[in-house]
């Protein structure tokens, strides 16, 4: 018995060549150590049109399958698809890696990604090794590996777009958290290998870089009502390791002993804080973030910098949680060092209200207001005379609102439900003294559903209304719909028939008149789970577009579908 477990453990280690999220070695020798799931699906589509040329082939079919083998929580997915149009096969683990887990120890081998914080190592994929330890209240992590591989200059196309130096990196994180108090100390460094490329064009924009970043974050309870979280990160970046110019005397190494400077080195800071207050039914949070212009970490693929964010987020719960009100308002701007010719300012506000007094009635609403303001500073010219036409400020506003109201009437033999939903959006912009006309979008939908419990019949009556208005045109699209359905054979067989009639108007002229009819029949027998889950469905849709003031011809289309599915 013991020898067999050793064999399983060896096989588990061999499987580390596959991409996965984590391996759970505690499952070695257990029943759920290996699981297999998947499915097969076939779709046949029949199409015909009258009055226009066919817009798709008269018959097309698609077959696809998937197989997922899970060994010690290592997922090995395979997918395959084939049709009379194209085929494809996928085994999505060309990059290999594994993350075995045992109790509070998790290791990373091969291609993986780890996250220390947003300002340091943030999800960058690396080839190497790592470890995460969570004994008790401690959180310890470390990694070492290749962040980028060397890619030579493309001499054929004379392009350096894909060219890159080999980049190695390593880092560590140590943290402790207990009873609302905690801290994390993070160190990360990455450096390009100058000798990893055989040829570097003299005019290339790809330069060897180096980066070291340290971060300290923590949280604490000020009182039983207030809590505080904060993080500070300092990043040293060398833009060109090949530079031989002397370091100016004005430059100071802000990360001595752990970072070597040259003439292209710079230091950048980023910090954030959050103060929260919570008591009973009310809570509020004040958040602040400042990221210096040019802040960069080689542990992230993309990073926003040169911005300051200030947000406040209050929330209120009333009537024993039946009424909930939450809001969020903030201000953001860039150009912190005033070095750019333009400054963008954004004002953001949103509110969310939900009221659920009981099981029958519910009401919810959302409103948001996004405002962007750009101030452009022209280049100073002593011989330039400013005029009124030089107002370069740009102002843009977007407002969104939506609401949903639901009312249910339960019953043992007859059930009713009413749903009314709507949304409204308006956007406008102003540049200088010129204000552009706004665009307004209004959507509304009403649905009444009635269910006959004993006979298992149900019907739904709907009406939709959509309106888009701008300076050039006004478009309307609206119409009613009805759906009737019933379940048979202990809910294994389902029949549904629907009819929708829509009409569209452009500048008060009828542009479309569409009648759509659809029928579907589906069957999903209930069988023993060990034999899988089969299902089959048939559907047909007939669409008739009539002649209108703006369309000269009428036409019709028929689409039929057959679906066979089996999952296990």
Q: Are 143 and 125 in contact (CB under 8 A)?
A: no
CA distances from 152 to 156, 165, 198, 246 (A): 11, 8, 7, 29
- Phi, then psi, of 331 in degrees rounded to 5: -135, 135
For CA atoms 108, 111, 114, 119, give the dihedral sign.
positive
How many CB atoms are closer than 10 A to CB 437?
11
Torsion of CA 257, 259, 263, 264, to 10 degrees: -170
Candidates 239, 329, 220, 271; CA nearest to 118 is 271
Q: Classify burial at 395, counting beta carbons within 10 Å of its beta carbon; exposed 0-12, middle 13-18, buried 19 or more.
A: middle
**pLDDT tens, the chain, 568 aa long:** 444 443 444 444 444 444 444 556 666 667 777 888 899 999 999 999 998 888 888 999 999 998 888 777 666 677 888 888 766 655 555 546 777 777 898 889 888 899 999 999 999 999 999 999 999 999 999 999 999 999 999 888 888 888 999 999 999 999 999 998 999 999 999 999 999 999 988 888 899 999 999 999 999 999 999 999 999 999 999 999 999 888 888 889 999 999 999 999 999 999 999 999 999 999 999 999 999 999 999 999 888 899 899 999 999 999 999 999 999 999 999 888 888 888 888 888 999 999 999 989 999 999 998 777 666 555 444 443 444 444 456 667 788 999 999 999 998 899 999 999 999 998 877 666 666 778 899 999 999 999 999 889 999 999 999 999 988 889 999 999 999 999 998 889 999 999 999 999 999 899 889 999 999 999 999 888 888 999 999 999 999 999 888 887 899 999 999 999 999 9
Would you say 274 and 312 are in contact if contact means Cβ atoms under 8 Å apart?
A: no
Query: Which residues make Cβ contacts (< 8 Å) with residue 239, sequence separation at least 6?
Result: 207, 209, 264, 265, 266
Pairing of β 100-102 and β 414-431: unpaired
Q: Is the dihedral of CA 386, 387, 389, 393 positive or negative?
A: positive
On whether the CB atoms of residues 95 and 111 are closer than 8 A, the answer is yes
Of 209, 133, 116, nearest to 170 (Cα)?
Answer: 116
Greatest alpha-carbon pair distance for the chain in Å reads 92
What span, in angstroms and rounded, lies between the C-alpha atoms of 391 and 395?
12
User: Nearest to residue 235, comparing CAs of 288, 285, 171?
Assistant: 171
> Which tokens go with 205?
């924009």
Query: What pLDDT score was predicted for residue 25?
Result: 64
Residue 23's pLDDT is 59
Bridge pairing between strands 23-24 and 59-71: unpaired
Burial zone of 399 (CB within 10 Å; 0-12 exposed, 13-18 middle, 19+ buried): middle
531 by DSSP, 3-state: which? helix
Handedness of CA 122, 127, 128, 133 (dihedral sign): positive
CB 466 within 8 A of CB 477: yes
DSSP type of residue 143: E
Take residue 39 and report the two structure tokens written for it: 């499915």
* Segments of 357-506 assigned E as strands: 361-376, 394-409, 414-431, 434-452, 457-469, 474-488, 493-506
SS3 (DSSP) at 5: helix
* 141, containing H or E segment: strand 138-148
Consecutive H or E run containing 212: strand 210-221
- Cβ atoms within 10 Å of 197's Cβ, excluding its own: 19
Q: What are the CA-CA distances from residue 196 to residues 154, 160, 243 (Å)?
A: 15, 15, 17
């Amino acid at each position: 018995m013991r020898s067999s477990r050793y064999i399983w453990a060896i096989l588990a280690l061999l499987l580390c060549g596959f991409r996965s999220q984590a391996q759970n070695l505690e499952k070695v020798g257990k029943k759920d150590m290996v699981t297999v799931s998947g499915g097969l699906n076939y779709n046949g589509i029949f199409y015909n049109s009258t009055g226009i040329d066919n817009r798709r082939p008269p018959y097309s079919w698609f077959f696809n399958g998937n197989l997922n083998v899970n060994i010690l929580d290592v997922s090995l997915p395979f997918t395959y698809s084939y049709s009379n149009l194209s085929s494809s096969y996928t085994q999505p683990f060309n990059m290999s890696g594994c993350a075995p887990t045992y109790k509070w120890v998790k290791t990373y081998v091969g291609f993986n990604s780890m996250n220390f914080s947003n300002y340091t190592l943030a999800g960058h994929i690396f080839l190497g090794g790592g470890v995460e330890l969570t004994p008790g209240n401690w959180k310890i992590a470390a990694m070492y590996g290749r962040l980028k591989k060397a890619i030579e200059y493309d001499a054929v196309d004379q392009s350096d777009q894909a060219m890159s130096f080999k980049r190695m990196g390593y880092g560590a994180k140590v943290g402790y958290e207990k009873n609302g108090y905690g801290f994390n100390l993070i160190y990360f460094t990455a450096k390009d290998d100058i000798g990893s490329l055989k040829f570097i064009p003299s005019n290339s924009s790809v330069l060897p870089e180096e980066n070291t970043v340290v971060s300290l974050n923590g949280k604490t309870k000020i009182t039983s009502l207030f809590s505080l979280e904060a993080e500070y990160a300092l990043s040293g970046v060398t833009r060109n390791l090949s530079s031989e110019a002397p370091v100016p005397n004005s430059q100071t190494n802000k990360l001595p002993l752990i970072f070597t400077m040259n003439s292209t080195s710079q230091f950048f800071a980023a910090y954030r804080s959050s103060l929260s207050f919570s008591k009973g039914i009310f809570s509020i949070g004040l958040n602040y973030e400042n990221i210096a212009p040019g802040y960069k970490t080689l542990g992230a693929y993309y990073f926003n910098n040169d911005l300051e964010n200030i947000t406040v987020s209050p929330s209120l719960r009333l009537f024993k949680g039946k009424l909930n009100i939450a809001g969020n308002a903030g201000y953001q701007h860039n150009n912190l060092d005033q070095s750019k010719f333009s400054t963008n300012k954004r004002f953001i506000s949103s509110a969310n209200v939900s009221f659920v007094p009981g099981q029958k009635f519910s009401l919810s609403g959302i409103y948001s207001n996004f405002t962007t303001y750009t101030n452009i500073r022209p280049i100073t010219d002593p011989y330039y005379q400013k005029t009124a036409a030089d107002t370069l400020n740009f102002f843009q506003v977007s407002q969104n609102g939506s609401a949903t109201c639901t009312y249910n009437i339960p019953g043992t033999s007859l059930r009713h439900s009413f749903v009314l939903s709507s949304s409204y959006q308006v956007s406008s912009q102003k540049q200088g003294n010129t204000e552009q006309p706004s665009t307004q979008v209004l959507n509304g939908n009403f649905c009444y559903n009635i269910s006959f419990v004993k006979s298992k019949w149900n019907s739904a009556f709907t009406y939709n209304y959509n309106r888009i208005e701008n300076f050039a045109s006004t478009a309307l699209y609206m119409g009613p719909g009805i759906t009737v359905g019933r379940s048979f054979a202990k809910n294994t067989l389902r029949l549904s028939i629907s009819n929708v009639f829509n009409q569209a108007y452009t500048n008060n002229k009828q542009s479309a008149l569409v009648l759509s009819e659809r029928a579907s029949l589906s069957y999903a027998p209930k069988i023993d789970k060990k034999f899988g889950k089969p299902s089959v469905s048939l559907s047909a849709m007939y669409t008739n577009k009539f002649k209108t003031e703006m369309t000269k011809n009428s036409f019709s289309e028929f689409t039929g579908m057959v679906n066979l599915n089996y999952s296990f």
